[in-house]
Amino acid sequence: MKNMIELQKNRKKVFVAMSGGVDSSVVAGMMKDAGNEVVGVTMCFSISHPDSKKPSCCGVDGIQDAKRAAQILDIPHYVLDFAADINDFIIEDFTNEYLNGRTPNPCVRCNQHLKFGSLYKKVMALGADYLATGHYGKIDYADGHYRLRKAADDRKDQSYFLYSMSKDTLSKVLFPLGDLTKAQVRDLARKYNLNTADKAESQDICFVPDAGYKEFIRQRVGDAVFVPGPFKNRAGEVVGEHKGILNYTIGQRDKLGIALGRPMYVYKIEKETNTVYVGDVAELYSAGLMAKEFNPVSMEIPTEPIEVEARIRYNSFVVKAKLVHVGDDRVRVDFVEPQRSVTPGQSVVFYDGDIVLGGATIEQPIKSIN
């Protein structure tokens, strides 16, 4: 990869985004090993969950672990305040999406607006040649432009969450872990004698406490968001009463509180009428989708339909589809075979093999014609 080759030839000033986890701590060690001038930076979001038993990527403990790792590596370390940014770009959107019956993806927006937005701009202004992070992905240079690619380890690949990066940042971002497995990363952490070598991974959304996202939103906007409303079937018949649209997401089967003699699934949420639609599993399948905020990170905007591999959620398989740019930042995706639980608010990401072509935010499914 061109970025990494350049590092090997010349000493560069590399700022490393250190979250306090093992991945970013190892990246700092790798960058120092390569002979670079390394500076650790940690984003402070002024988030505190003192009673939480789960590791967080941006809480007080994370900051302390990052600072200790920097001390072990003997590199300077700074904490930068981005509390306003996470509220304006992430938390407000997260809250509004749920209130409107959609299921947001805050990690995608965090990469777009914070790590490779606010933080990237800050470190570049401070004289960085590169910003390095602990993400599992790759960036290479081919045919005259930079491309985002999947990580070598499919189990750790985070390219689904990285598609929202601006293509203008690719030449100045490093993903040193792209060819490594998690086991190899932990081995390197032990080699560097890092305090984070055996630290558990952060799994949950950093700003949401142990009580969960529903309680988080309740505390922000009050109980009014839990207004009951009708469950309806495709025919428009009322088949029960829900406890507020915030409690439901597309594909949900459990905790509906209705008994119709067969499994029922949420297949549509209508905020305008405070209605949750339920039906048989067949209702979950869609022939395609419409999406907005299209970001062609490794491609030009297509002028005609193209064949792609699409992923509609992080833990789903890629499927064959046709991508059509319909104007402005909107695209249409037509699946070769109908897909289950297309969820408004989530991301659809497009691939060509291991190249991340781009992605967009799902607006609505396109149902099969029966």
CA 218, CA 201: separation in Å to the nearest integer? 27
Question: Could you tell me if 22 and 100 lie in one domain?
Answer: yes
Q: Quote the pLDDT of residue 202.
A: 75
Residue 370: pLDDT band (50, 70, 90) is: very low
Question: Could you tell me if 48 and 125 lie in one domain?
Answer: yes
Q: What's the CATH number where 133 sits?
A: 3.40.50.620
Which domain, by its residues, includes 56?
Answer: 2-191
* Residue 295 reports pLDDT greater than 90: yes
* 92, amino acid identity: E
pLDDT in tens, 15-28: 999 999 999 999 99
In this structure, the strands spanning 229-232 and 173-174 are unpaired
Higher pLDDT, 61 or 360: 360
* 265-270: strand order across its sheet: 238-242, 229-232, 275-279, 265-270
Q: Quote the pLDDT of residue 114.
A: 97
Question: Could you tell me if 164 and 23 lie in one domain?
Answer: yes
Three-state DSSP class for residue 111:
helix
Three-state DSSP class for residue 24:
helix
In a domain, 196, yes or no: no
HSE-up of 341 (CA within 13 Å, CB side)? Answer: 16
In a domain, 216, yes or no: no
* Residue 1 reports pLDDT greater than 70: no
Higher pLDDT, 231 or 260: 231
In a domain, 218, yes or no: no
Question: Could you tell me if 171 and 250 lie in one domain?
Answer: no
Q: Is the dihedral of CA 357, 360, 362, 364 positive or negative?
A: negative
pLDDT in tens, 119-137: 999 999 999 999 999 999 9
pLDDT, average across residues 200-227 = 85
pLDDT in tens, 80-99: 999 999 999 999 999 999 99
Question: Could you tell me if 160 and 307 lie in one domain?
Answer: no
pTM of the model: 0.92
| Number of domains making up the chain | 3
In a domain, 359, yes or no: yes
In a domain, 210, yes or no: no
CB distance 60 to 169 below 8 Å = no
Question: Could you tell me if 163 and 267 lie in one domain?
Answer: no
Question: Could you tell me if 57 and 183 lie in one domain?
Answer: yes
CB distance 88 to 94 below 8 Å = no
pLDDT, average across residues 273-299 = 97
Position of tokens 């428009």?
A: 236
Q: What angle do CA 289, 329, 288 make, to 5 degrees?
A: 10
Q: Which residues are catalytic?
A: 110, 206
CB distance 154 to 317 below 8 Å = no
pLDDT in tens, 147-189: 999 999 999 999 999 999 999 999 999 999 999 999 999 999 9
In a domain, 252, yes or no: yes
Q: Where are the beta strands (DSSP E) in 50-190?
A: 77-81, 130-132, 138-142, 145-149, 173-174
pLDDT, average across residues 94-106 = 94
* Residue 193 reports pLDDT greater than 70: yes
